[in-house]
Structure 1
Amino acid sequence: MDFKKTILWAVFSISGIMLYNNWLVSDGKPALFGGPVASSPIAGEKANTQKPDLPIASSASGTPLVAQTPSVNSGSIEDSAKYQLQNDVLELQISANGANVVDAKLLKELTEDGKPVELLQYNPLHKYFARSGLIAMGNADLPNHTSTFKLVKTGKDASGLSFVTLASERGGVKLEKTFTLTPGSYVIEVSHRVTQGGGVNTPLVLYTEIVRDASQEKKIGPFNGAFSASTFTGPAAYTEKEKFNKLEFTEIDKNKISIPTQVPAGDPAWIALVQHYFASAWIPSDKLARDIYAGKIDNNLYRIGMQTPLGVISQGVVVEEKARLFIGPQEERMLESITPGFALLKDYGYLTILAKPIFWLLENIHTYVGNWGWSIILLTILIKLVFFPLSAASYKSMARMKEVQPRLTAMKEQYKGEPQKLNQAMMEMYRKEKINPLGGCLPVVIQIPVFISLYWVLLSSVEMRGAPWILWIQDLSVPDPYYILPVIMAVSMFVQTKLNPTPPDPIQAKVMLYMPILFSVMFFFFPAGLVLYWVVNNMLSIAQQWQINKMFGKKIAK
């Protein structure tokens, strides 16, 4: 019985820790549990509005570089001309100053007021954009993300794809950037064409960066989302060797990050900025070695980037280096098709091994049902069938416990004030009656990892965003607006408690009585899809437990 108490207190403790963790995050403080973090190869970089000489990581060829990377505040992106590039899912604005992607609207992902989600932005309130350019050793003046680019050509290429080509020439080196969009794709093909016109005679390096402030998405839920679930927002990097690394903004501030800096030629690698449901990422070609770096470049402004050394380019020679820029939703099947490891942008946390097959099953059910709410219900039934033998054994154990409840009460009176003798008598009775007092806890303990995995599936899946079920549930990814499902869940848990045998320990009995209230309060802030799963699971459990109790009742009557 002591072990049973331990399980109950563990459940309460974990629930309390989860609530406290979400409160910390909502209050702008570091979370209790952080993912892997990483260190910038540009350690020691300070905020500066001038053009500082910034120490950059040693190139993949082993040559240390000290490149002049202009500050983000040089030039005026807001006042420069903008060139539009659009397909049926993505609308981009590319600035003449730097040829940076400074605005990106996801045309099929809508906000609460029906407008397209504006993922990339450059305005006084929010800065989030993608940039690229050339650097070299010393103070070489090369085309970079602050140079003025002129429109060379726009329209459709020979394949009918929309494109924009911008060019800038500085220090005898010309850089042409061509952005090409494929219909239905969130991936922009970006070509960097470098022409050496007799300028610097030192190794050139192409850099591709994503820059963002540390602002968080608006929390959904009561109390300004103070108890809403928190997802990761910040830079991330992937390499074949180190896999997926997340970088917390707070850790970058403290210069306590470490990421793999050198990527050999032929190995896939990419850098990204991640937020709830959406991400942007540079995916350079893997034909050359690359370097990854990250850091803080100004007050509340951070970057993650990748350098590709182009070597010394002879006069009159043209070198073209291609990269892909992804700006879009974290749709799992789409991410898997883009590049190795890209599906990791959709972060399920430490239970990915369970969460991925759960999402796979849920997605396959949805292909037949066409509604995510009914898909969750069918998934719950399937999970219940998988656990049916275990649950049946558990409910039989609880029914047996209920059967011997009068004898337990009598023992308690008989050995009042003698807890050791009471415990011995109870254990002897359990042995003779072949009852496992812990049998009722086992299904709950085993289902906790499944529950947490499903929680992250529903929380992380952009597929659930704005997905309706029936009537008042018009978005399964946010809490029930009228709290009907949490109330139903509380009632179902209360019914389950009444079907279970009353614990002999008064404290334990009170804990079991108040547990439905505690859980219902917690579920007020959980996504409606998750509460729907738990309600259906409880209904099925009640039906199963009632039937087993009925069978044992007839047995006792005989």
Structure 2
Amino acid sequence: MESQRSLLFFGLLAVSFLLFSAWQEDQAPKPAPAAVTETVPAAGTDYLPKSDAADVVQSAAAPSESRIIHFGNDVLSLAVDTRGGDIVDAQLDKFAATQGSEERFELLTRTSDFAYLAMSGTVGNDGADTRGRARPIYNAAEPVTLADGSQQLVLSYQDAKGVTFKKTMTLAPGKYVVNTLVEVQNGSTQPLVLEPFVQILRSNHEPDGGAFMAHSYTGAVYSTEEKKYEKYSFDDFKKRDLKLATDNGWVAMLQHYFVTAWAPKSNTDMLFYTQQAGDKAIIGAKTLPVTIAPQGSTSLSADLYVGPKDQDAMAAVAPRLEKTVDYGILWFIGELLFWLLKHLHALVTNWGFAIILLTLIVRGAMYPLTKAQYTSMAKMRALQPKLTALKERYGDDRQRMSQAMMELYKKEKVNPLGGCFPLLLQMPIFIALYWVLQESVELRHAPFMLWITDLSAKDPFFVLPVLFVLSMWVTQKLQPSTIADPMQQKVMQLMPVMMGAFFAFFPSGLVLYWLVSNLVSITQQLIIYKGLEKKGLK
């Protein structure tokens, strides 16, 4: 098959993918507005796991008003509401809200029109957070610094029966993991029945009414030993409630580049659940009902990860949590590309140059196939006179024409599809790299050089797309056309411009990869053509 037909075939495959993606917005989602805890009421009891309601139990020792407690480390700043002991704000101090901004990115937040909270407590017959009861207001001392540098916040509440509910939150230096220990000490004279829980609540829309990022999944995910990685979309919340018995795993809410996940450390059976409360989606985990004898106790320990989709950091929290970096159906190629990119970045300390080196490695590894491709194209062009003669000989007899062509290809040892395979092989690499650039938080706001200050966003001046068009045009000129059909000729001439128009809205890192790939391809063509000419093939 001649080169132009191969290029057209590849172009149509690429355009089908580009048409699917070009309309999507290629920038990080807008951060949630700053938390406004002073004017927004606390989360209601509708947000708590479903269980039997009981009479409200008020404590004379409990403070009458809630307050916000701030604590954190060098990478994470948290705000905890003493009413319920929920984390109502989480600011990622190493991540700008927008590129170049002094404002930090807020992952968890609570405002008048948007909520994203990490909640914990106890429900059941005797739970402090059971539906129908006013959520307890905890006593809280100021956070303390432990010997290892960790920050620790202790919240406690005692009801009128003498039952003590306690939460201890510990945050190590440099970590995005909040270890949360929920404890219940039964100081009453009667046994208690309750269920400790942890859950994530999120509005099922973007802040300020913004649309979800179509190219990145926003919604819930959970993992168990049986179901390794299961998405649970906001549409799923509206259709049915999840109820899944398990003894291990995690639940999470995902968005572009960031994740919030609870990983319970329970030795007992648990129930993973979801529920829809108005415009709020909730996913959580709770123990099965626990009976606590008088003077007895129970506890639930869970790690809360609230931070970027850092694969190494998440893998240390819970098995398979790193899978929240979703490279799509071609994840196995995406993981390999990211692994290689990360090691290249360690050498050159610039993600743009790492992409260039990755391109050189990929094109170098494909050189034998590329050589076979252009050799096949040259042989096909050499057969054109014979193919034309066969067409004149057999006319409209397509069956005999096809048989004669197959015999000619076999005799001349030419594979008519030899020019397509390297192009087809590049397509999954192209798609996988697209998702690597979209999903890898390491490339968020990553600069290259000069005007390219964010490889995950489009080229602001469209310089790379224009250079890409020129490189594609040069590639075409190196492959003189033998297409006689005027319509196909026009399509081929417009192909570089069409591809450039789509690439204009793609991440600049992806355009950089394809531009360098074209430049390497041009160089390889010149070398291969020179060798073929010495063998008499033009």
Aligned to 2:246: 263
- The answer on 1:464 being equivalent to 2:443 is yes
| Alignment correspondent of 2:35 | none
Q: Find out whether 1:83 has 2:41 as its counterpart.
A: no
1:466 alignment partner, SS class: coil
Residue 273 (str. 1) matches residue 253 (str. 2): yes
- Structure 1 140/339 Cα, relative in aligned 2: closer, same or farther at 3 Å? closer
Aligned length: 508
Counting aligned pairs with the same residue, the percent is 36
Distance verdict in 2 for CA 1:13–1:296, change over 3 Å: farther
Shift of 1:187: 0.4
Once the two structures are TM-superposed, the CA of residue 403 in structure 1 deviates from its matched residue by: 3.5
- 1:24 and 1:347 map into 2 onto residues whose CA distance is 17
| Paired residues for 1:247-396 under 5 Å | 247-255=232-240, 261-264=244-247, 268-298=248-278, 300-309=279-288, 311-396=290-375
For residue 540 of structure 1, give the secondary structure of its aligned residue in structure 2. helix
How far does the alpha carbon of each residue in 1:142-176 deviate from its partner, in whole angstroms, 9 at most, with x for none? Answer: 69893211214532234442111112233633211
Match of 1:473 among 443, 452, 455: 452
Of stretches 525-534 and 208-217 in structure 1, the one that deviates more from structure 2 is: 208-217
Deviations 1:218-271, CA, capped at 9 Å, x for gaps? 99xxxx999x8610001111111111111111222233x75x71113xxx3111
Query: Which letter does structure 1 place at the counterpart of 2:528?
Result: I
Q: Distance in 2 between matches of 1:369 and 1:514?
A: 37
Alignment-derived partner of residue 61 in structure 1 = none
Normalising to structure 1: TM-score of the pair?
0.82
Alignment match, 1:149: 138
Would the aligned equivalents of 1:232 and 1:275 in 2 still touch at CA under 8 Å?
yes
Distance 2:423 2:95 in 1: 37
When the two structures are superposed, what TM-score results if normalisation uses the length of structure 2? Answer: 0.85
8 Å CA contact 1:55–1:67 kept in 2: the answer is no
Instruction: Summarize the alignment of residues 46-445 of structure 1 with structure 2, pairs less than 5 Å apart.
Output: 56=50, 66=52, 80-112=66-98, 113-137=101-125, 146-170=135-159, 172=161, 173-198=163-188, 201-216=191-206, 230-255=215-240, 261-264=244-247, 268-298=248-278, 300-309=279-288, 311-405=290-384, 408=387, 423=402, 426-445=405-424
What is the distance in 2 between the residues matched to 1:433 and 1:500?
A: 22
Aligned AA for 1:293?
Y
Aligned to 2:122, the other structure's residue is in SS state strand
Q: Establish whether residue 521 from structure 1 lines up as the match of residue 501 from structure 2.
A: yes
CA contact (8 A) 1:229 1:526 kept: no
Residue pair 2:47, 2:282 contacting (<8 A) in 1 also: no
Cα displacement (A) at 1:414: 7.1
How far apart are the structure 1 equivalents of 2:23 and 2:400?
A: 45
Kept after mapping to 2: 8 A contact 1:85/1:93: yes
Cα distance, 1:478 vs. partner?
Answer: 0.7
Q: Any conservation in 1 of the 2:122–2:197 contact (CA below 8 Å)?
A: yes
How far is 1:383 from its partner? 1.1
- 8 Å contact kept, 1:372–1:467: yes
1:184-222, CA deviations, whole angstroms, 9 ceiling, x for partnerless residues? 000011111211121763421001110001224899xxx
Q: Residues 99 and 145 of structure 1 are in contact (CA less than 8 Å); yes or no, is this contact kept in structure 2?
A: no
> Could you give the per-residue CA deviations for residues 262-321 of structure 1, whole angstroms, max 9, x where no partner exists?
113xxx3111110010001111113222110012111x2110000023611122223332
The RMSD of aligned alpha carbons is 3.4
CA, structure 1 residues 139+536, in 2 after alignment: closer, same or farther (shift >3 Å)? closer
8 Å Cα contact 1:203/1:309 also seen in 2:
no
Residue 182 of structure 1 aligns to which amino acid in structure 2? A
Q: 2: distance between equivalents of 1:394 and 1:293?
A: 54
Q: Which 5+ residue runs of structure 2 have no aligned equivalent? A: 27-42, 57-64
DSSP 3-state at the match of 1:459: helix
Aligned to 2:433: 454
Greater RCO structure (CA 8 Å; 6+ sep): 2
Query: For 1:556, what is the secondary structure of its paired residue?
Result: coil
Q: Indicate the SS of the match to 2:143.
A: strand
